[in-house]
Structure 1
């Protein structure tokens, strides 16, 4: 990374942190008339897409319209946010429903409200010679996350079904952080990477080939339409005590998603907190996020989710699902027409 590029990243980081902190303080100052009981403390990754949503929500005044306010608590990593939620330092974070279901099996009564269907994809270098999933045999694959990351499990199941290929044995997977994987494939140190959607969007913007989108993988596994994977997570006790507040928040998020899907101008003002290196990065991230927030796709279809869970449990085993061999329907919060 050049000094100039490093400095640009540093400036973007400082701007993002400043905006997140100023959002928290300004919301509290501007909405002093809203009672403390209508405040939601949300753990937010500094450069994550959730920050874009909440910034747009408050800028449009949807919080005031629904008579609540947001207190943003910046988080350095997903596991820090999970710990903060379990410790009561925040009321809400974003995570996937697999984590919520596993926690319910361990006695921690969390719930999930859908927020995005975005997953990511498998990206290959142009000179890699990889044209189909069968070409991954004997090749190195960089995988974001852990051996039980849901996208990796989906890809394994799909490779078995379509190419009779066991990627754990027939390929050479290695696991690393998403930014590191992008650097490696861009430097031709890896022929293929399976990465999360924000990083995949940047790879597409850089000209790499998306061999397969994870939504196409799911379709090949019998899942007929995109399904919510990441969402708002909170304790069942908090949701019961704050039902009206939670429903008003989710309504405001729906209005925000409608704006973000339709209004290009709403994205221009988000550029400083998106940590983009180019206009191509910006457009790719915008379009990928929009693809994940279609309201109709965010409704929970419980039978589809149960089938998906069974597939994941078969691939990931107890390491993934813990003490929950089946999907608990009460993992999903029922509101706003998305009743399981």
Structure 2
């Protein structure tokens, strides 16, 4: 073999070795990137809860992958079941309210809260109803979703006492019940007014009802300066500190989904089967959802929650808030 042939063989061997090494490095890099990106975040939610609209958007647009996580959505039959799953360590995140978080922190748990939505319930009346104010509710038949200790109900009772010296619970016929049942009774004319969860209120609004007063209106009248998120994402502080990428990735994915749902009507049309609405009903649900996207800072949210805690502690007592007189430190993630 002459020198030229030997040189050609050496070159081919070097080229093959180079490409083999490049492929190995690429495989290694992809493997490392995938390992870093695939941190699973387990979230437990109600199967037909409104939070699924955001979670569906995250998964459809791969916002979880974009931010380095793999969102594992697990469905539960009721809120108590999600709470149990959280405490047992079966899920990393659930959806609940800051009041429950504060009560758990006061009992020694390390739960913390990231705002999700400020959409809250409202008192709804038929469009042609003569009822124009809380004072006009005296002696009426009123449906209330969520039970006697529902926060929206307590705030509205507090405002009625302050403005009209009216004890809504004592001076009215109160019908407590499940949100869909009360919405149906309202549609059938069996109730003079109904206090329901925000999404059922939106459906009623799309079908000829009007808002008399929302829980946010009552909260502001009772001292809140802004609109405090009613519900949020809940997780253990210890887990969050051990998995900073997971927490940051989830919050970023949630933020991206909200930004899209705040602007894209096309995405709402895609979500129609998940929302289980169409036409005007879908439009009203979309608009009310958008109103509930938080825009206050964590510091502002915490300040308003602190004010509302005092009001709710007075209205609901230990049965609602437990023995703590003030909002527990650390209730809002990042407030330390």
Does the CA contact (< 8 Å) of 2:37 and 2:68 recur in 1? no
Are residue 172 (structure 1) and residue 192 (structure 2) matched?
A: no
CA distance in 1, matches of 2:298, 2:156: 22
Match of 1:284 in 2: 284
Does the CA contact (< 8 Å) of 2:202 and 2:285 recur in 1? yes
CA distance in 1, matches of 2:131, 2:35: 57
Match of 2:321 in 1: 321
Match of 2:131 in 1: 130
CA distance in 2, matches of 1:206, 1:221: 30
**Normalised by the size of structure 2, how large is the TM-score?**
0.86
Does the CA contact (< 8 Å) of 1:102 and 1:324 recur in 2? yes
Are residue 184 (structure 1) and residue 216 (structure 2) matched?
A: no
Aligned to 1:293, the other structure's residue is in SS state coil
CA distance in 1, matches of 2:223, 2:308: 9
Are residue 150 (structure 1) and residue 138 (structure 2) matched?
A: no
Residues 308-317 or 279-288, more deviating = 279-288
Aligned to 1:237, the other structure's residue is in SS state helix
Match of 1:225 in 2: 226
Aligned to 1:249, the other structure's residue is in SS state helix
Aligned to 1:111, the other structure's residue is in SS state strand
CA distance in 1, matches of 2:304, 2:57: 31
Match of 1:266 in 2: 267
Match of 1:332 in 2: 332
CA distance in 2, matches of 1:298, 1:53: 20
Larger gyration radius, structure 1 or structure 2: 2
CA distance in 1, matches of 2:131, 2:318: 33
By how many angstroms is 1:36 displaced?
Answer: 8.9
- The superposition leaves residues 35-63 of structure 1 with CA deviations (integer Å, 9 ceiling, x where unpaired) of 69710111122222211111111222221
Aligned-pair RMSD on alpha carbons?
A: 1.9
By how many angstroms is 1:215 displaced?
Answer: 2.0
Does the CA contact (< 8 Å) of 2:42 and 2:71 recur in 1? yes
Match of 2:114 in 1: 113
By how many angstroms is 1:294 displaced?
Answer: 3.7
CA distance in 2, matches of 1:271, 1:301: 31
CA distance in 1, matches of 2:311, 2:133: 23
Match of 2:89 in 1: 88
By how many angstroms is 1:291 displaced?
Answer: 0.8
**Normalised by the size of structure 1, how large is the TM-score?**
0.85
Match of 2:309 in 1: 309
CA distance in 1, matches of 2:163, 2:297: 26
Aligned to 1:157, the other structure's residue is in SS state helix
User: Which consecutive residues of structure 1, in runs of 5 or more, have no partner in the other structure?
Assistant: 1-31
- The superposition leaves residues 117-142 of structure 1 with CA deviations (integer Å, 9 ceiling, x where unpaired) of 11021011346532211111111211
Instruction: Flag the 1:161–1:52 CA change in 2: closer, same or farther, 3 A.
Output: same
